[in-house]
Amino acid sequence: MPVGIIYDKRYLDHQMGFEHPESPARLVTTMEMIESEKLLDDPKFKLIVPRPATIDELKLVHTADHIESVRRKDLMAKDGHLEYLDAGDTAVCGQSFDVAVLAAGGGITAVDAVLKGDVSSAFALVRPPGHHAFPDHSSGFCIFNNAAIMAEYLIKKKGFKRVAIFDIDLHFGNGTSDIFYRRNDVLYFSSHQDPRTQYPGTGYVHDIGEGEGKGYNICAPLAPGASDDVVQMIFEDVIKPVFEQFKPDFMLGSVGCDAHYSDPLSGLSFTTQGYGRYVDGFKKIAEKCCNGKMVLILEGGYRVKILGQSVINILKVLAGEKMPFVEKEIDSGESLLEYHQDLVKKMKEYLKPYWKF
């Protein structure tokens, strides 16, 4: 079965202003690179056109007021004039409402393609991103929470019992975490740059969930400079055992490629092949727990060429092929490794009432 690539040119119609890092160029370049690597001529990949989400599907996560306020702001934004949502860091341009609805629909389209057996797994290349969006407000360039909508769609509309979301963007997915913080049917794991040094300033190791959700929210705040070796250690020692005990019946990935060492927003030091290996680890869990049922959705990634290379490496990994873009490996160094060995200890300490290590 091929790997699905969900994309639509309409994703370019959402604009947040001149030189904004969350630009249409991110997807223009990524798709040009996918074409020049001939992925679309390869029967191992299948391009799928997304449908928009319905208002009822948006309401699986969002309040009617939030949806209406985005629509209203969007109507006010015309002729190149931008309007700003909520905290003021997310703009809409006149097409943004429709594009955001199509981004949420891109995730649902990907899920449906996997459920129908058209594709083995899929990567939805959408914008705007979603993981900083809350039920009642936008933030951090995110309008609707695409990953959370997919998880709720699987649970409420398709009868799934346990959905795991991994979030490997540079930033903590505070919106997604908040939405499922008190629930044990959605396991949320995020690795991100330490909140004391990076937006959104939350996502500490002690934030493990509340009530029934205790133990089902897992944060790995990484110190600036941390590279793929640190990620691999946390994955093997904490994440793999927890995910395998949770036994998800579907896996979702919020994939942002802004933790790359050259990304303008990044203090971390991931490589393009590091992204491929990271996703490969989750793919193996999905194969073990849920017949490989996994959908990835794009979050950040602001150095466009690197975003394209990372996305292609990830797509190749999903198809079981060799990664074409391999950079020089980065060694985090002894002191950072020690710091993160200590972080692993703390994570296990907080999580051991709920999981076996």
Interface residues with Zn ion (CB under 5 A) are 169-171, 256, 258, 300
Task: Name the residue nearer to Zn ion (CB basis): 2 or 221.
Answer: 221
Task: DSSP for 93-152, please give it.
Answer: -SSHHHHHHHHHHHHHHHHHHHHHTS-SSEEE--SS--TT--SS--BTTBSS-HHHHHHH
Residue 154: CB minimum distance to Zn ion, A: 24
Q: What is the CA radius of gyration of the chain?
A: 19
Residue 125 has φ and ψ, to the nearest 5°, of: -95, 85
Task: Name the residue nearer to Zn ion (CB basis): 86 or 185.
Answer: 86
Coil vs helix vs strand at 264: coil
Residue 172: CB minimum distance to Zn ion, A: 9
Task: Name the residue nearer to Zn ion (CB basis): 257 or 336.
Answer: 257
Chain position whose Cβ is nearest to Zn ion: 300
Task: Name the residue nearer to Zn ion (CB basis): 57 or 169.
Answer: 169
Task: Name the residue nearer to Zn ion (CB basis): 119 or 170.
Answer: 170
How far is residue 291's CA from residue 271's CA, in Å, rounded to a whole number?
Answer: 28
Q: Which among 14, 66, 131, 132 is annotated as catalytic?
A: 132
Cross-strand bridge partners of residue 296: 123, 253
Cis peptide before 241 (omega within 30 of 0): no
- The reply to whether 132 belongs to the active site is yes
Coil vs helix vs strand at 297: strand
Residue 300: CB minimum distance to Zn ion, A: 3
Residue 174: CB minimum distance to Zn ion, A: 11
Residue 338: CB minimum distance to Zn ion, A: 27
How far is residue 300's CA from residue 267's CA, in Å, rounded to a whole number?
Answer: 14
> Could you list the active site residues?
132
